A and B are shown apart, each in its own frame.
Chain A
Amino acid sequence: MDIILQVENLKKNYGKITALKGISFEVKKGEIFALIGPNGAGKTTALRIIATLISPSEGKVFFRGRNIRENPDFVRENISYLPEEAGAYKNMKGIDYLKFMANFYAKDSREANTFIERAVNISGLGERLNDKVGTYSKGMIRKLLIARALMTKPLLAILDEPTSGLDVINALEIREIIREYVKEGTTVLLSSHNMLEIEFLSDRVALIDNGRILEIGTSEELKNRYSSRNLEEVFRRVVQ
């Protein structure tokens, strides 16, 4: 399997605070790779660096073999990043928001229409897309943003806590959307502190705590290695 993303000894300091203490991992093409860990473990910092939002203090990240610091434009053209607390422009209609975002990625209006059509299908928001985003519920905004992130069929979709703050039904729907879309060739790198969700969703996971990666493997491998019934138990044993 091709390696799409390679993270080498990544460190990040915010003044005196060290958010990442040298993490390394690889993401293979077409898989769902999850960073799991408690709040403040360093998941968002890692994803932000990979999405070219912030720069690392040390270490390197390669996307399709290219150093992301030297090729930020290449990275931005081929990834989609969904931040944990992302919002959309409240005064825009849902459909206009999708059009606005599609125009950054599409080569022409035909391709933009294809992206929008896909987003409409992914979101499942139907006629509500003609309403202003300001009238949407949290779940609807999240579906709109997921649709935005996946509509361009990016090589890598970076999803930070994709179901954070959503009710059970909405969270399930979003998980299904992500699962469905990986089948179409998109690689997903996501983070979550919901370990049961990750167990259901991801192919491989990295357990991260206090800025360090403690374990990497499939859910089954980790459960066997630590003789645990689920990832929560694995995490507890790894941390102890």
Chain B
Amino acid sequence: MKKFSNLLKKEIKELVTAQLIVSLIFTIILFNFMGSLIKSEAKKGFEKRNIYVLDLDRSNLSTEVLNNLSFGNFRIKLVNDLIEKEDKNLAIKYTKENNIDFLMVIPKDFEKSISKFKPKEVEIYSFIRSLSMGSSIGSSLINQVIDAINRFISNNFLKSKFPEVDPEVLKNPIKSKEFIVVKDKLAEGSSSQVISMIYSQSIFIPIILMMVIMFTSQMVLSAIAMEKQDKTLETLLTVPISRKQIVIAKMMGAGIVGIISAGIYMLGYRSFMGGIMGEVGTSEITSQIIQKLGLKLTTSGYILLGISLFLAILCALALSTILGVLAEDLKSAQSMILPLIFLIMIPYFLSFFSDINSLSLPIKIFVLAIPFSHPFLASSNILLGNYSLVFYGIIYMLVVFIILIFISARIFSTDKVLTMKLRFGGKKLFKKAS
């Protein structure tokens, strides 16, 4: 055990380099900075907006419309009193000079035209001064202004013609009542709301999975490739410690450093995503529906997901160990990780854009044969109560891991650890010693 811990300590120390620490700190700072920047820009976009209005009609209707807008997400400011005379060009000039984002011009005879059911054009000028995300969100408000005016005028008209009827009922005579069914549980509510809420809360799971698997694989590959590149492997293989312990120490060291690195990386990423998505608003009603349908991960669900992820990491570590033996140096190890990334990316993208059950049988078999697919599928299977699929996935990954660890231990206990090489663009070679 003393020898093993000696080796494990060395593995961790070798992987935790100054470069790794600096790059992790830099990543966190960068993500935090980007996240808070995006957050503040997005916040600006949703703030109450000033709408400067030039009312050339000065009618009862135009005044009513503007009063109604003031109750919405707009702050109405009349330009009429701020310029020398009521002229559109003067109003545009004024808004330009005063860095105003929006100007609405209500034309003359606005009330007269509307009362005769002749549409009248309300002009809205939006001044683009930057191409930031905040500006794009702000400009979408123009549509909201037009909608609000239209709604107000049409409701007023309907009220005057049919005073005893609610205008909203006239516009939408049919009402719907949505129900969601999950297995034997039923709840009233919108499926799209529930799905989007679960999605927004679990969007990080596949990203975490991908990051952890990729980090740990990269670490173990580098650990073995570094031993080869620095010509330290031969010496290590002749010290009094079993080859199995060497393999396990390498995998454990890489696993520990990989998980910690991925965790730190994810903290930064979460803050970045928090900036993009904003604080995910948890509607009380939707939460109750989710609770009722049992679409929440319970403790046992988390344990199952954890086991699934842990086994996927072990499979990745064992596979990377084999790939590491094939690598000649650190540079070739970078190429060796490509097939592994490919195997991780398939389930990663599938989990975002598709449903495994809707795939054709051969593709489904191919995807399920990739051990890393199972943790990606596990969270939705646990939520939907398909436990048997989760258990099969866990058993499958365990079998794959045992096979891979057997192969890597076997390689380490034979000449192949020193002689096996894989060169891209060439064939597998056995290096001959002098």
Contact = CB atoms under 8 A, between A and B. Distances in A.
A53 B232 contact: no
Given A76-B238, A77-B240, A89-B230, A43 B434 contact: yes
Contacts of B419: 14, 54
B234 A86 contact: yes
Nearest to A102: B6
A105 B232 CA distance: 17
A92 interface: yes
Interface string A141-181: 00001001000000000000000000000000000000000
Contacts of A88: 230, 232
A87 B14 CA distance: 14
A197 B200 CA distance: 73
A81 B238 contact: yes
A138 to B, nearest CB: 12
Given A43-B434, A44-B433, A55-B414, A101 B239 contact: yes
B240 A73 contact: yes
Contacts of A100: 6, 10
Contacts of B430: 14-15
B432 A76 contact: no
B277 interface: no
Contacts of A48: 234, 418, 433
Nearest to B415: A54
Contacts, number: 86
B17 interface: yes
A104 B241 contact: yes
B418 A104 contact: no
B434 A40 contact: yes
Interface in A72-118: 73, 76-77, 79-83, 85-92, 100-101, 103-105
Contacts of A53: 234, 237-238, 415, 418
Given A88-B232, A91-B17, A54 B418 contact: yes
Interface residues of A, number: 40
Given A87-B230, A90-B230, A103-B3, A41 B238 contact: no
Given A53-B234, A86-B231, A100-B6, A76 B240 contact: yes
B2 interface: yes
A46 to B, nearest CB: 9
Given A14-B430, A14-B433, A86-B232, 17 more contacts: A14-B419, A19-B432, A41-B434, A48-B234, A53-B234, A55-B414, A73-B242, A76-B241, A81-B235, A86-B231, A91-B14, A92-B14, A101-B239, A103-B6, A104-B241, A105-B239, A105-B240
Interface of A: 14-15, 17, 19, 39-45, 48, 51-55, 73, 76-77, 79-83, 85-92, 100-101, 103-105, 145, 148
23 contacts: A40-B434, A41-B434, A42-B434, A43-B434, A44-B433, A44-B434, A48-B418, A51-B238, A53-B238, A53-B418, A54-B415, A54-B418, A55-B414, A80-B238, A83-B235, A87-B231, A91-B13, A92-B10, A92-B14, A103-B6, A104-B239, A104-B241, A145-B235
Interface of B: 2-3, 6, 10, 13-14, 17, 230-232, 234-235, 237-242, 414-415, 418-419, 430-434
